[in-house]
């Protein structure tokens, strides 16, 4: 019978998900967490988009922004709506997401991230602006945050 009396150090990527039992009882402070922050801009899915800004996430630790996405439930007949995600008042996108009436209803549009890192106490806001909303309904946006756990 072998007995180990000191720490074991494995090379990176040697231990993968399949090597860890579902009952391993690993403390949460030893993992990274994915959080999804979403915003309906205070409207029901039948609500007409109007300019709004909402705080959606405050970082507890360091991490990486993984994505920002937006959609309209109904793109209407004459529509131009933009979505933006800002960190501490500055956009994290290379350009806002614009949805127009020619886009398919309920189609999710992906933002292109130009800033992905964040630190504790960074504040993220989602912004909705419009120049035309004839028949448009149900703005919705969401962002995905991979955050290191704060012990």
15 vs 95, more confident:
95
Mean pLDDT over all residues of the chain? 92
The 10 Å CB-count burial string (b at 16+, else e) for 134-145 is eebbbbbbbbeb
In a domain, 3, yes or no: no
* Tokens at 10, concatenated: 């494995």
pLDDT band at 148 (very low <50, low <70, confident <90, very high): confident
Containing domain of residue 80, as a range?
34-148
DSSP symbols for 91-121:
E-BSS-EEEETTSPTT--EE--BS--EE-TT
Between 38 and 6, name the one with better pLDDT. 38
Structural domain includes residue 26: no
Please give the pLDDT value at position 12. 80
Q: Which two tokens stand for residue 20?
A: 């860890």
What is the number of domains present in the chain?
A: 1
The pLDDT, as a whole number, for residue 17 is 78
Any domain includes 28: no
pTM of the entire structure?
A: 0.82
Is there a domain that residue 10 lies in? no
How many residues make up the chain in this entry? 151
pLDDT at 8: 82
Q: Say if CB 97 and CB 115 are below 8 A apart.
A: no
| 131 has a pLDDT exceeding 70 | yes
Q: Compute the distance between CA of residue 64 and CA of residue 84 in angstroms, rounded to an integer.
A: 17
What is the model's pLDDT at position 70?
98
Residue 91 lies in a domain: yes
Close Cβ partners of 24 (under 8 Å, ≥ 6 residues apart): none
Task: Output the domain CATH number for residue 105.
Answer: 2.60.120
What average pLDDT does this structure show over 108-131?
A: 97
What's the whole-number mean pLDDT along residues 7-18? 82
Q: Is residue 134 part of a domain?
A: yes
């Amino acid at each position: 019978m072998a007995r180990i009396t000191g720490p074991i150090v494995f090379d990176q990527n040697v231990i993968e998900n399949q090597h860890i039992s579902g009952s391993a009882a690993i403390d949460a402070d030893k993992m990274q967490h994915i959080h999804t922050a979403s915003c309906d801009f205070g409207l029901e899915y039948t609500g007409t988009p109007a300019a709004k800004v909402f705080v959606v996430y405050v970082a507890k630790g360091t991490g990486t922004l993984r994505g920002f996405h937006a959609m309209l439930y109904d793109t209407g007949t004459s529509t131009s709506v933009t979505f933006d995600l800002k960190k501490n008042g500055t956009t994290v996108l290379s350009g806002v997401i614009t949805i127009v009436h020619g886009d398919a209803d309920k189609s999710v549009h992906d933002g292109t991230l130009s800033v992905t890192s964040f630190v504790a106490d960074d504040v993220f806001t989602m912004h909705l602006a419009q120049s035309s909303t004839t028949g448009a309904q149900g703005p919705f946006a969401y962002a995905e945050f991979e955050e290191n756990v704060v012990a």
